[in-house]
Structure formats: C-alpha cells, structure tokens
Copies of this chain bind each other. A is one copy, B any other.
C-alpha cells in the first residue's frame, strides 16, 4: 500500500526560515506544500518573490486568515517571537500537529517566560505541553508528538556541543561560558540600519549581552542533562539548575553559526573529548565530530551539526565547538527533521546531508 503524501503548510513562509523550509519541502518526496502564508506577499507568486523557488510555479502566498490550517497533516509556524503564542495555542486546542519555530513554547517553567521576554505569556497553560524539538536529545518524545517547539539556533549548536560533556560529567556545569556567533540571516529579514550591507561588511560585534533570549532554553536543557536521566521530565532549571554566560556575536556572513563553549574540566583531564563525543553521538545522522575544529561553511544549507573538541591542559578547561547553518539545523532543517519524526517517516527524508561548499 502506498503511503499518502503528507499535506503541510508553512505560516510565515516569506521570512528567511520559512522560505528555507519551502526550499527543503520542494525536494521532500513525502510532503507537499498545501499552503504558504505571508502577510507581506499574500497574492503574489512564490516564484516571483523568491526566484530561487521557481519550482513552485504559479503557487501564490496566501493570507493566514482563510487558509485551512486545520486540514493539514503538519503546520509549521515560522513567525517572529511572540506571534506564535495565540495561534499555536488555538491550533493545539484544535488537535493540530504543529512545529513552532519561535521561542514561545520552548520553556517549561511558566515563570521563566515573563522574566526573559518581558511580557506575560498569552497561553501559559500550554507551556510544558510542547516537546522541545532537539531530536538528538528528545527523539522518543518527538516521535508521535503533536506539538513540537523547534529549538533556537544558538541552543541547538551549544547543546549538541555540550551534551556529551555535561551528560558525561566531564565538565563543571557551573563554569560554562558560551561565546557564539551567527550569520546575519539569524537576525531576520526585516531591514534595519544595523543589517545594512555597508554596515555589516567588515564588521564584527557582540550583541544582546547578557540577556539574549536563547539563554533560558540553553539553561533548561543543560540543567536536565546535568540532573541526569533520573530527573523528572517536567523539571525546569531550578535552584540546582545550570546558569551560563552566553555572549552572541554577529558575523559578516549570510548563514552559519559557531558556538564556542568553554568550561572547567571536572576531575582528571580526559584523553580525548572528540572520541568521547563521537561515541556519545554514534549513529546520529546529522551530527559529525570532526578531527580538529569545525568550520561553519561545511554545514551551509544542510542539516549537519559539525562538532570539534580541544583541551586547554594549562588552564584545565574543555573547549567544545559546534558549527551549523542557522537556517538549517538551526531552524528549517531541524523543523523538517522533527516533522519526519512526528509523522513516522524516516528521520532523514528530504534532508539530504550534503552541505553547499564553497
């Protein structure tokens, strides 16, 4: 019996992440795009707005209102932070299968949201009911889940780099410092003086220090990992939770994200962190521990996460570095990986594996 093609929709399909998802879906053999909404471009052909998406032929962007999201097998919400809350809750109530790109449903602790986002959550009763969609850590929960909160780009990289060290108790979680950097597409498609090419070229800067909104989800997941497998699933970052210093930077490149994580080694310095990480992530289709240190370019336009490790023996610190494409494993690729799991499809379907280089 042939499997039916899954009908999916992308809400916010003209932002960078949404358009990247359209690109991936065009090559997905088991999904078809039944709807793609865009406030800005509703009524215009996708292929005219994004000539790279010429394969969409005459299909047009639609308005969110009137688009039959309820009929979809999966809806992807690629909206800015804060805008998914109400829609996500409404769709959840309706029993829909949803992958949300925003930070709106990533935190489990209802108190954490207003603390970090400066406003109350519109549907706090739904916090804790969405699965945190990092398949390498929460695969079993994602399989068959209806509501998945797609992780942030920085957390994806940092967590995949740190998980082997924290779970293996190789570092002291209280000493974790994350210095990360992203390409400019991570800041979204809305123009602004700080994103003007002439300003960004040849420019490097830190930003959002020390209150970047990805911090609490990093801490939530590291706390879980630190607490070990025995910890109750619903526990947030409590008193014993991990607190990190997170310093993001903006780099003059369109795509790509590097997370450099540094922490004190606990106990004796291990011989080979890379080998340990390679064993920890053994079998993961999208995680690859390289020899030496990873470079973001090799992950471009892919769902790959490349990891590398070093030990500073003099200072007795571990250095863990992760490279991803912020729009790939950091957004649309991971969302598709989650959707594959939710629908019972092979996890790598439509995700190829090869990055674009050079």
Contact = CB atoms under 8 A, between A and B. Distances in A.
Q: Looking at chain A's contact residues, is the secondary structure mostly helix, strand, loop, or mixed?
A: mixed
B189 A202 contact: no
Q: How large is the interface on A (under 10, 10 to 19, 20 to 34, 35 or more residues)?
A: 35 or more
A160 interface: no
Nearest to A243: B315
Contact of A198 (B48, B181, B295, B358): B358
Most chain B CB within 10 A, of A53, A189, A203, A290, is at: A203
Interface in A49-84: 50-55
B262 A258 contact: no
Interface string A198-235: 11111111110110000000000000000000000000
Given A26-B354, A319-B209, A354-B55, A199 B297 contact: yes
B353 A55 contact: yes
Contacts of A312: 209-210, 245
A118 interface: no
Contacts of A177: 177, 179, 262, 317
Nearest to A193: B191
Contact of A23 (B175, B198, B203, B354): B354
Contacts of A298: 50-52
A280 interface: no
A142 interface: no
Contacts of A323: 204-205
Interface in A161-207: 175, 177, 179, 181, 183-185, 189, 191-193, 195-207
A177 B183 CA distance: 23
A310 B291 CA distance: 35
Contact of A205 (B294, B313, B355): B294
Contacts of A192: 191
17 contacts: A26-B354, A51-B290, A51-B294, A51-B298, A54-B353, A54-B354, A177-B262, A179-B260, A183-B202, A198-B358, A199-B297, A202-B253, A202-B256, A210-B312, A243-B314, A249-B260, A252-B253
A-B residue pairs, 3 tightest by C-beta = A52-B355, A179-B179, A210-B312
Interface of A: 16, 19, 22-23, 26-27, 47-48, 50-55, 175, 177, 179, 181, 183-185, 189, 191-193, 195-207, 209-210, 243-245, 247, 249, 251-256, 258, 260, 262, 288, 290-291, 293-302, 304, 306, 308, 310-315, 317, 319, 321, 323, 352-358
